[in-house]
Each structure stands twice: as C-alpha cells, then as structure tokens.
Amino acid sequence: MNPSSHPPGDAPVPSPENWKNDEAALLTMLEEIERKHGYIPHQIGDEVSRLLEVKLERLKRAQAKLETGIRRDVQQHVARWRGEEGNLIMILHAIQNQYGYVPREVAMELARELGVRLARIYEVITFYHYFKLQPPGKHNVTVCNGTACYLKGAAGLLNELRAQLGVGEGQTTPDREFHVDVVRCIGCCGMSPAVVCDGKTHGRVKPTDIAGLLAGIRSQAKEAKP
Amino acid sequence: MKPLTPADLEKLATQPPVPAPEYVRVQLDTGGIAAGAEETLGAFRLALSAANLAVPVQRVGSHGRSWADPVVEIAAGGLPPILYGSVSAAVAPQIVAAHLQQRRLIDDHVVSTARAATAIAAPVTHLLVLDTGVGEAKTQFFQFSFAEELKRRGLAEQVQVVRALDLGVYDEGVAVQLLPSGVTYTNVLAPDVLRIIEQSIEGRKVIDDLLWKHPDPQVRIVLRNCGAIDPEELQDYLSFAQGYQGLRKALAKTPEQVIEEMKVSGLRGRGGAGFPTWLKWNNTRIQKAEPRYIICNGDEGDPGAFMDRSVLESDPHSVLEGLLIGGYAIGASMGYFYIRAEYPKAVERVERAIAQAREAGLLGKNILGTGFSFDAKIRLGAGAFVCGEETALIASIEGKRGSPSPRPPYPSVRGLWGQPTAINNVETLANVSAILLRGGAWYAGYGTETSKGTKVFAVTGKVKLAQLVEVPMGTTLRTIVFDVCGGVLEDKEIKAVQTGGPSGGVIPDKHLDTPVAYETLQQLGSIMGSGGMIVMDSTDSMVDVAKFFLKFCVDESCGKCAPCRIGGYQMLQVLDRISRGRGNIDDRATLRRICQAMQKASLCGLGQTAPNPVLSTLRYFDDEYQAYIEGGPSYARKMARAAAGGVEPARAAVPATAD
C-alpha cells in the first residue's frame, strides 16, 4: 500500500489497487509524484479521474441495489402484517430482527409503504427501549440489572467492563467490536448476576470473570475468521 | 393432528392414557438453557444410546427450582422419580451409568421432593444424607458413619448412602431421608445412626422423635404441569394434564354460569391490584358493544420476577385454555397474548401452542361443535414497563406509543379499538383452567377470607435457593423465605423483603410473620404485585434500594403527566444527594411531600405507585436515612453493621476502622 514503493518515474500509470480503497493513499501518491516531477503528468490525472468515475458508478449501483433490497424487505414485512390493525410494532420487530437495529433508510421506506408520516414511526421507535437506532457492535455484552442482579453486584460488572473496554452502558467501542448494554431483567434471577455475551447467558459472574469472558469472545471470533 | 371432537375429549377425561413408566425429563426453560440444559439433553441421548437403553428422553418446562438448573427428573430402574440438580453435560453419563444401569444414585445432585411420609412400606434402598445446619460440614461424616455401619451388618449391598443436594428441610441439623418411602429424620446426632439402621432399615419402624412432620407449604395449582409435560406438545397436555377439560366443562355451561363459578372461586387478578376476576368479566360481558376482546397480559416488566415467563414457557396451553374460557365468558371472539420481546422462548412456545390448538380445532370457528368461535394472536412488547398498565398495553397493541389514558372509561367499557376488553394476567388465566376443571369451591378452599387460592412468587436476591414458589395465600413471609427457600445466603441476618417490584415496598424483618394477602401487604405499605419477592440482607443499603427502584420508574415514566415526570426526577435528585452523603435534614420531609403529590395526582399506576419504595423505606428505615444525612454512606454502613451485629456503634467503630 505504500505508494513510495512504486517509483512514479518508472510506472507513470499507477495501479488502481494501490489507492482505489484509500483516499489518503491516493493523495500521498499524487503529492509524491508532484514532488518528483514538479507537476502531475496528464496521463495520471486522466487515469485517476477515469477510475474515480468507475468507482462512483459502482457506488451508485450498490446504492440502487441496496434501496431495492430495502424496498423488497420492507414490502415483505408489510405484506406479512397487512390487514392487521396496529401492525406497526410487529413490523418494527421484524425489521430489527433482520438488521439488528432500525436504519433510517428503512424507516423512511416503511413510512412510504404504510402511508404514514416518518415522525409517527420515530415516535414509536423512540418510546420503546427495545428498538435501536444505532447499529449494534460486532459482539454484544449485556449486563442484567434486574433487582436480583443489582443486589448481587451488577454495578461491579459494569465497572469492570468499563475498565476493560473503556465504554459504559449503551456504548460501543470505537472499533465497533463490543457493544455494552444493560437490560432490566432477563428472568434468570436464579443465576444472578447474569451477563449475556452474544446471546449466551453466563450466570453467577464475578468481576474477575469479565476478562476471561471477553478473551473467550475474542478468541472465538479469531477462530471463526480463517 | 385431526380436529378433536367432544367425544375425544370426554374419552381423554374418563380414560386418560397411561404415562410412560420410565423417562428422563430435562427441564428446558430459559433459565435451564442458560445453565446448559440443552447440552445436558444431548449428553443424555448420547449416553443412553451408547448404553443401549431405550428410556425416552423428554423435554419439559421448569418446575421452578432455578437455583438447581439444569434440572433433570428420572424415573427408571424401579426407583421412584428422582430429581437431580446441577446436571451438567459431564454429569449426565455418570447418572446413566449409576441410576439406570445399577439403580444407584450419585452424590451431591439429588433434590428430594418427597416429604412428611409417616410409614415405611417397602424395604429401604437408599439413604439420603445432608447437613442442613449452618456451615453444612457434617454431611460426609454421617455418610461415612451410615455406610460403615451398614457394611458391618452386611447391608451395604441393599442400601446405598448418598449425599443429597437438597432435602426440602433447612436449618434442622443433619437430615436423613429413606427412599423409596420418603420418611425424613431431622436433627440426627451420631448415636441416632445406629437407631435408624436398627429400627427403620432393619425393622421398618418409624422413629417418632426424629420424624419430620411438617407438610410441604407449597401447593401447586398454577405450576401444576410445569416440569411434568412437554410444553411444545399439545398431545402431552391433553393426555397427561387433563388438558382442555376445563374448556369442555365451561362450554357445557352458559357464560353466566362460568362467571358464577369464578365468583365462587374468589379468584382475584394476579397482576397486582387484585381486582376480582369474575367482576372484570361480568363488567365486560354486560356491555352491549360488539366485538369484545380478551387480552392476556404477559408484559412481566418487574425486575426480579419471572413467574409469567416460566408459566408461558412450561405450560402455555393452560394459559391459552384460560384465555379461551375467559373469551367464552365475556362473549369475545378474539384474544391477544401481549408478551415481552425479551422472552423469545415464551413467544416461541405460545406461538406453537396457538398453531397446535388451531390445528386441533380448539381455536377457530365452532369450537368443539358448540357454535363458539374464537381465535388468538400474539403481540410483542418492546421493553416499556408502563405497558403492563392496562390502558398503555392497549395503546401498544394498537401499534402506538404505550402512553396510559385516564380511567374511567375502564377497558371493560372502552378498551382495544374502543371495544369492551378484559385484560387478565398470565397467572390469573393459568388459574382459570384449573378452577373450571376442579370447581370454584375447591379453589376457594385455599387461602384466606379475602384472598383465595394460591400465589406464585419468584423469590430471588440474597436467598439460598432462588426459585419459584407457589403457596396458598396467607402463608407467612418467614415460611416462604426460610422453610421453602432455605434462608438467607451465607446465613446473614435478613433485613427486609421487597415485594411488588418497583411499585411495591420493603417489608422489614419484624413483619416477616405477616400472612401474605392483598390487604395485609397493603397495610405494610407494599403491594402483592405480580409476585417478585426480593430478599435483602444486613449489608444491603435501603437508601440505595429505594434509589434503584426510583431510577427504574423515572427511566420508565412515559412523560405524559407532570407529577410522575417531574416528581420522580426531583425525588431521584434528593435521593442521590442523600446517598452521596450530601443530604440535609429537611430532605425526608421533601421526599414525603413529593411522594404524596405523585400518589394523588399521577395519571396511571406507574406514577401512583412509584413512591412506594421510597415511602416504605422511609417508614421502616428512617435511622438509615438519618445516618446517611449525618455521616454519609460509609458511616451509614457502619451503623447498619453495628445494628445487625447487636453491638453498640461506639464499640463497633474500633474494628471497623481497623479493617
């Protein structure tokens, strides 16, 4: 990726792989060329603008595909509940199940499809805790804060998570790897305090177990990759 | 499954099929699955097929002992049904090898359910031993003593001595239970070992002075099928649980007669307020408007309560049957289940139950040829506590924000879509099917004068055995905490029991002998609520607890009415100040004033009851608030420790500063 490894004098037309995904790399490369030649040769300028157009076209196509995808999904969910009065919440559940949250584009599409105002949909989404407007992290760590868990030290678990990940309740780590959340009660009071990691419930968790839990998630993710 | 006819149901009632004599039942509810019950189930299947045994492995719901999850019940090898607790996948093959192949039990897993037997009919095959006293250190010694003595007498082959996990007896010294009879001896001392072996094992005579005579305080009506049938199979419910027989009996009566039966039973709403169920149904029935609706309220939002989840997961058909009966009584043609989205397993099982009932002709047009038509649907909650309130719940089913609206008009007059609607709690409906099956008079035989029947409590917090408990109304809190749930964790002092969730209050230890009923709890400044019961020990700060519940209510306030929106927030500010040691002496008066305003002026139950935790802690733990205001949190903790230890605060201060 380092542009200086391709001396521009030898290869005036840069390989698109070098910078097509990386604006910063492109700029660095152009600067490098300018420094070396005192100007930017027109072949390179032409090539860059051609590739940019190709990229833009691709983006547009992806956008259109996404929009038809969203439209199709929304239409499917609406069709499932059409004719039922008061179906909005059930449709939102279906959408959240699919995307993990309610993306803005989907909500807009849903408003069009149902023929109601967007505000009416957001009114419902924001009232209920269950619906999320932000994409969840790759891994979700949920601490139960029901009364039983609270008494048995859920606050200590949250503190430990903050110490380990640097984020607290309702926040996602900057690398979007972990999302920490607090729920009211998951009904596992017999095993309090409870922590749910990616859908798996762990009971009787101590603050000292948190590091192990996080390491377990990380290593599982690593195993799954190759 | 082809549609059932009334004749089919009648045949099932008079000649129920014989259940399989041998089985392995793994309890798979959310709690069990979280503890690894699915792995356990797989391990049993594997071990059984490896051992070439044809014992069926059944999936059942949970009977409530969540502390022992995963729980497995086994009837095989000529032994009575034995309950095993904490059965991880690694333990499963051990149980198969010992129990099913050699009729031997394994140590540290047996949970006894038999109690208070008074005769030894069959030869003793197993001795369960457990030290139930503080420390619980003598179990092994007694196991050794019994085993040695039996060996000396050549009985080691016939009688196995097993360390139990739980005998249903607490703080009664060493307890010994003889299987298969279930005779239990308590406070057994070393010299008694010989007596028990000579008289009870060899002579089959009961030793009266050691005998445990207290019957089980629990009565299982709501939880009658939980842990006994497969919740995902309608056939199980029909065959082994008298399923839909209550509906058959209801349909043979007029709706008025059904309501009359409910009146005889004295059943009151189990959601918290305790409104008589028959009256609610009658008020809905007498409305002229059509159609009418019935709703099952499964929005169990109280933190620390999981009765409704457990019933919906373990016995969904009994709730559906109750909904059908209620629908028939009020003349409704459509019923809704409103269930929290946080309970996916419950949603899945109710969905399945509805589909199966539809297939069997128990839902739909002309049910059982009686001309009664009814259908049921599910609506999901979305994490809003206020939606447990009737009018908010209706708004949520209509697809709107769950804001409550003023009553009257009550939902029985103008409810869902403006039509007459009856809303009943999950537990109420699970009672209904049992009442119609066995009669209102039978049900009214349990409980107190004004609170009939039984109540399920989810006992959690600082308690040894966190579990679901079903006791007749009028049972004391002390019985529930100490005789059923084994007392306080680490044998600490009990400080208070909190009932009713964020709408309830704390009940201090001096009132533990109060019989539990709607009115008695109200007098103590708490409420019955849906049945969450949280035990707190001497280390728990009441100011923190009040703050915890108030924070919950402030978060959950819908913001529609000012007393709740503003009052709750202001109280939280004051409480926060006090808990950080910055309170001043007028704060308690301020809190009381805001509490009163909220109680009087709030629109719905959430705002009206949100002050309860604050008021009840102020009422019973004024000293603690005082200590917080005078000296801050660490001083208050020190005072509380001193009070619990019964030591003068001045003297207690020395070791407290040393550590």
pLDDT tens-digit series, residues B34-80: 888 999 999 999 999 999 988 999 999 998 898 888 999 999 877 78
**Predicted confidence pLDDT, tens digits, chain A (226 residues):** 444 444 444 444 444 455 555 677 778 888 888 888 888 888 888 888 888 888 888 888 888 888 888 888 888 899 888 888 888 999 999 999 888 899 998 999 999 989 999 999 999 999 998 898 988 888 889 898 888 888 888 999 999 999 999 888 888 888 888 989 888 887 778 788 889 888 788 888 999 999 999 998 888 877 765 5
Model confidence at B23: pLDDT above 50: yes
**A86 interface with B at CB cutoff 8 Å:** yes
Instruction: Give the relative orientation of helices A210-224 and A154-165 as an angle to the nearest 10 degrees.
Output: 50
Give the residue from chain B lying closest to A187, CA to CA.
B306
CA neighbours closer than 13 Å in the CB half-sphere of residue A197: 19
- Mutation for testing the B interface, residue in A188, A197, A205 having most B CBs under 10 Å: A188
Test mutation, B33, B460, B499, chain A, max A CBs within 10 A: B460
Query: Residue B6, Cβ neighbours under 10 Å: how many?
Result: 14
B-chain residue closest to A91, CA distance: B399
Strand stretches in B344-438, DSSP E: 364-367, 372-380, 421-425
Q: What ipTM was predicted for this assembly?
A: 0.84
| Residue-level pLDDT at A41 | 83
Q: Report the Cα–Cα distance between both ends of chain B, in Å, rounded.
A: 69
pLDDT at A151: 87
* Predicted local distance difference test score (pLDDT) of residue B136: 64
- Give pLDDT tens digits for B383-394: 888 888 899 999
Which of B69, B299, B306, B394 to substitute to test the interface with A, most A CBs within 10 Å? B306
In the A/B pair of chains, how many CB contacts fall below 8 A? 135
Which are the contacts of B99, defined by CB distance < 8 A and separation ≥ 6? B74, B76, B77, B79, B82, B105, B106
Tell me how many degrees the CA angle B292-B296-B300 measures, rounded to the nearest 5.
145
Give tens-digit pLDDT for B507-565.
999 999 999 999 999 999 888 888 889 999 988 999 999 999 999 999 889 888 999 99
pLDDT digits (tens, 9 = 90+) for B82-101: 999 999 999 999 999 999 88
> What is the chain A residue with the closest CA to B64?
A190
On the question of pLDDT at B141 being above 50, the answer is yes
Q: Indicate if the pLDDT at residue B651 is higher than 70.
A: no
**The pLDDT of residue A5:** 42
Give the mean pLDDT of B241-270. Answer: 94
Q: Which of B342, B396, B402 sits opposite A186 (nearest CB)?
A: B342
Query: Which candidate from B34, B343, B380 shows the least CB-CB separation from A203?
Result: B34
pLDDT, residue B653, reads 39
Q: What is the pLDDT of residue B497?
A: 94
- Nearest residue of B to residue A197, measured between CA atoms: B34
Burial B232-262 (b: 16+ CB within 10 A, else e): bbbebbbbbbbbbbbbbbbbeeebeebbbbb
The predicted model gives B279-283 an average pLDDT of: 95
Residue B352: C-alpha distances to residues B245, B315, B360, B431, B484 (Å):
20, 12, 12, 21, 33
Q: In this structure, what token pair is assigned to residue B560?
A: 């529609």
Where residue B194 falls among pLDDT bands split at 50, 70, 90? very high
Measured between beta carbons, the chain B residues lying within 8 angstroms of A190 are: 31, 65-67, 69, 460, 466-467
Q: What number of helices (H) and strands (E) belong to chain B?
A: 27, 19
B552 neighbourhood in chain A, CB within 8 Å: 184
Of A85, A128, A190, which is closest to B383 when you measure between CB atoms?
A128
Helix boundaries (H) for A100-209: 104-114, 118-127, 147-151, 154-165
Determine the pLDDT at residue B648: 45
A130 touching B (Cβ < 8 Å)? yes
Return the CA Rg of chain A: 25
Q: pLDDT: is A23 or B605 the higher one?
A: B605
**How far away is chain B from the Cα of A123, in angstroms, using its nearest Cα?**
7
Q: What is the pLDDT of residue A27?
A: 81
Is a pLDDT exceeding 80 seen at residue B6? yes
Mean pLDDT of all residues in B283-298? 94
Q: B501 is written with which tokens? A: 């969730």
CB contact under 8 A, B35 and A85: no
Nearest-CA distance A174 → chain B (Å): 26
Which positions in chain A touch B402 (Cβ < 8 Å)?
127-128
Q: What is the pLDDT of residue B645?
A: 62
For B93, list phi and psi in degrees, rounded to 5: -60, -30
On chain B, the residues whose CB falls within 8 A of the CB of A142 are: none
Q: Which of A88, A184, A188 lies at the smallest CB-CB distance from B34?
A: A188
Chain A residues closer than 8 Å to B37 by CB: none
CB of A124 within 8 Å of any CB in chain B?
yes
Answer whether B304 sits within 8 Å of A89, measured CB to CB.
Answer: no
Task: Residue B389: list chain A partners with CB under 8 A.
Answer: none
Kindly determine whether residue B466 and residue A90, on different chains, have CB atoms separated by under 8 Å. Answer: no
Distance from the Cα of B581 to chain A's closest Cα (Å) equals 19
Strands B160-166 and B110-111: parallel
Mutate: best of A90, A101, A123, A184, partner B, most B CBs <10 A: A184
Q: pLDDT band at B656, cuts 50/70/90?
A: very low
Partner residue opposite A148 with nearest CB, options B381, B401, B534: B534
Q: Is the CB of residue A187 less than 8 Å from the CB of residue B62? A: no
How far does the CA of residue B308 sit from the closest CA of chain A (Å)? Answer: 10
A89:B396 CB<8 A: yes
Q: Is the pLDDT of residue B267 over 70?
A: yes
User: Which candidate from A128, A147, A201 shows the least CB-CB separation from B461?
Assistant: A147
What pLDDT sits at residue B646?
53
Cβ atoms of residues B554 and B569 within 8 Å: yes
In this prediction, what percent of chain B has a pLDDT beyond 90? 67
**Contact check, Cβ <8 Å, B396/A93:** no
Tell me: pLDDT of B294 over 90: yes
Look at residue A225 in the predicted model and tell me its pLDDT.
Answer: 55
Q: Which residues contact B537 (CB under 8 A, 6 or more apart)?
A: B462, B488, B489, B490, B492, B493, B494, B495
Cβ separation of A86 and B536 shorter than 8 Å? Answer: no
Q: Is the pLDDT of residue B644 over 80?
A: no
Residue, of B136 and B127, whose pLDDT is higher: B127
Please judge whether B400 and A191 are an interchain contact, meaning their C-beta atoms are less than 8 angstroms apart: no
Assess whether pLDDT exceeds 60 at residue B252.
Answer: yes
Chain B nearest-CA distance from A49, in A, is 49
pLDDT band at B568 (very low <50, low <70, confident <90, very high): very high
pLDDT digits (tens, 9 = 90+) for B365-412: 999 999 999 999 999 998 888 888 899 999 999 999 999 988 889 999
Say if the Cβ atoms of A192 and B66 lie within 8 Å: no
Q: Which site among A110, A127, A131 would you substitute to test the B interface, given the most B Cβ atoms closer than 10 Å to its Cβ?
A: A127
Kindly report the backbone phi and psi dihedral angles of residue A201, in degrees, each rounded to the nearest multiple of 5, phi listed first: -90, 130
Cross-strand bridge partners of residue B72: B26, B84
Question: Is B567 exposed, middle or buried (CB count within 10 Å of its CB: 0-12, 13-18, 19+)?
Answer: buried
Would residue B576 be called left, alpha or beta, if left means φ above 0 and alpha means ψ between -120 and 50 degrees?
alpha
- Please state, as a whole number, how many other Cβ atoms lie within 10 Å of the Cβ of residue A66: 11
Q: Where are the beta strands (DSSP E) in B332-412?
A: 334-339, 364-367, 372-380
The CB density around residue B175, as the number of other CB atoms within 10 Å, is 26
Specify the 3-state DSSP secondary structure of B290: coil
Query: What residues of chain A lie within 8 A of the CB of B461, using their CB?
Result: 147-148, 151-152, 189
